[in-house]
Amino acid sequence: MLTAKSLETAIAEAGSAVRLLWTDAPRVWTRPVVPPEITGWREEQAAWRERVALIDLSHHMSDLFVSGKEATHFLSQYSATDFSEFAIGQAKSYIPVSEDGYLIGECIVLRTAANRYVLTGAPPIHRWLLYKSECGYYDIDMHFVDDSRRRSGPPELFRFRLQGPMAEALTRKVLGTALPELELLHSVSLPYADGEVRVLRQSKMGQPGYEFVGKWAVGERLREDLARLGRPMRLTEVGALAHAAGAVESGWMPVPVPAIYQSCLTGYRATLPAEAIREHKPIYGSFYSDRIEDYYVTPFEMGFGRVMALGRDFNGREAMLARRAQDTRRKVTLEIDAADAARVLGGPDSYLLNHGRFRIEKDGALVGLTMCTARIDPLKAVLSLSLVEGRHAAPGTELDLVWGFHPGPGTPAEADFGQQVLKARVRRSVFEAQPDMSEEAASLAEA
């Protein structure tokens, strides 16, 4: 059996991290197992606005289970997350920071008991924590479960989300009981079938929602019950394409380049399979730099400032705070001119999702980068979640988005390769607050 090439070996062979990660022929990233479309990406995008959508989150994320007397100490040591007020059943963003103050990534950490947590998200964060656990002496147990692309057999946990104005009504029906009062991102474990299910209250795309998490064996029964009881509400199951594009609506940047290419993390990169990183985090677009650091982001740029515990020590804290004065970019949404979008990116019926780093300019000068660009059919708009210099980040500001694919290493950063310029206007990072439940949705929910 061949051993997978490590990320460190692949970088050495390529000559640099940028040379390894760069591609001039990007592909749309899709989730494993979940079909790209089920009823059609446009109808699926409309479902979480108009009625209720079912999203299967069981396969594209990995899980890291952490338990033991020092679980809280260990996790807090390697994250800017505030652990001081962290209730059992609560979920928070886990925000690991590199030694030089950049963001390694972000995932969700759920506290399931006093000394037990589960972290769900991209595997580089989990593998970084596994590596750090071996660098010290911690009284903890860790169990890693990879995503369905790299794991044989089913996941240990199912994870379903109901999203939309009728999500609460369907949740009540499937559980057969009134829901307890839950704060946002708090959960409760309830008996279900021959097991139990954890119900987490959350909100995405400006709509209310609930996530169901439990042992895999319980998931199939729950899915059947959701389909049966959701039929009168016109429950729509969401495919991978519609779900991935929805990140732009919710203001969540899914694919920052992880800050893991420093010399001090050589040992960590030796534990990572190269293809896992290249698959999730390729670099492309009209912006090009030979320096991998130019693709990094900081927690402050990503909008995590209000949820971080800055008053205590954690890995990378001093460097992160030192960079704070240099963090001049702000997270915004760009709404691309409709005529320019149709001319360059395709008509309104064509699917669009792109994680490229495209230049954002003002009067020809670079003022920002795109992070994720998608067509949102219910809005009849193409939106780009972006980082823009603060002086140009006010809503209504007109900017230019330079669309095209730089050839990469060996070509000057400012080369002309046939780029197209699209007019764009700054909006808030979460594009639109959604309206209340429609009369049709209300009547279906009461049926």
pLDDT band at 250 (very low <50, low <70, confident <90, very high): confident
Non-local (6+) Cβ contacts of 384 within 8 A are 248, 333, 334, 336, 358, 370, 371, 372, 373, 374, 401, 424
The tokens of 72 are what?
């809280």
Question: What does each C-alpha distance from 375 to 17, 44, 77, 356 come to in angstroms?
Answer: 30, 13, 39, 14
Name the CATH topology of 41-60+151-250: Gyrase A; domain 2 (3.30.1360)
Averaged pLDDT for residues 158-166:
96
Q: Which CATH architecture has domain 329-427?
A: Beta Barrel (2.40)
- What are the DSSP calls for 100-155, one per residue? TS-B---EEEEEEETTEEEEEE-HHHHHHHHHHHTTS----EEEEE--TTS-SS--
| Token output for 430 | 């979460």
Q: How far is CA 429 from CA 6, 39, 114, 248, 384, in A?
A: 36, 29, 35, 9, 9
For 387-435, the pLDDT digits (tens) are: 999 999 999 999 999 999 999 999 999 888 889 999 999 997 665 544 3
**Per-residue pLDDT at 1 exceeds 80:** no
**Per-residue pLDDT tens digits for 176-224:** 988 888 999 999 999 999 899 999 999 876 688 999 999 999 999 999 9
Q: Which of 194-208, 230-244, 272-286, 403-417 has the highest mean pLDDT?
A: 230-244
> Cβ–Cβ contacts within 10 Å for residue 209, how many?
21
From 179-183, 252-256, 287-291, the region with the lowest mean pLDDT: 252-256
101-145 pLDDT tens trace: 999 999 999 999 999 999 999 888 999 999 999 988 899 999 999
Which pLDDT score, from 0 to 100, does residue 30 have?
77
Cβ partners under 8 Å of residue 345, min gap 6: 336, 352, 375, 382, 403, 422
Lowest mean pLDDT among 170-174, 193-197, 278-282, 325-329: 278-282
Q: Which residues are annotated as a binding site for substrate?
A: 211
Mean pLDDT over the full length of the chain: 91
Q: Is the pTM of this model over 0.85?
A: yes
Domain boundaries, the chain: 41-60+151-250, 329-427
Alpha-helical (H) ranges within 333-411 are: 338-345
pLDDT value of position 83: 95
As a whole number of angstroms, the distance between CA 277 and CA 279 comes to 5
pLDDT of 266 higher than 90: yes
Q: Which residues fall in the annotated binding site? A: 211
Please tell me the least confidently modeled range out of 198-207, 259-268, 323-332.
198-207
- Among the ranges given (146-160, 410-424, 430-444), the one the predictor scored with the smallest mean pLDDT: 430-444
Topology match between the domains 41-60+151-250 and 329-427: no
* Tokens found for residue 277: 């990183």
Residue 9 reports pLDDT greater than 80 = yes
Collect all residues with Cβ–Cβ distance below 8 Å to 129 and sequence separation of at least 6.
64, 66, 75, 78, 96, 119, 142
pLDDT at residue 438 is higher than 50:
no
Q: Which of 397, 407, 367, 403 is nearest to 382 (CA)?
A: 403
pLDDT of residue 433: 40
Tell me the pLDDT band of 445, cut-offs 50, 70 and 90: very low
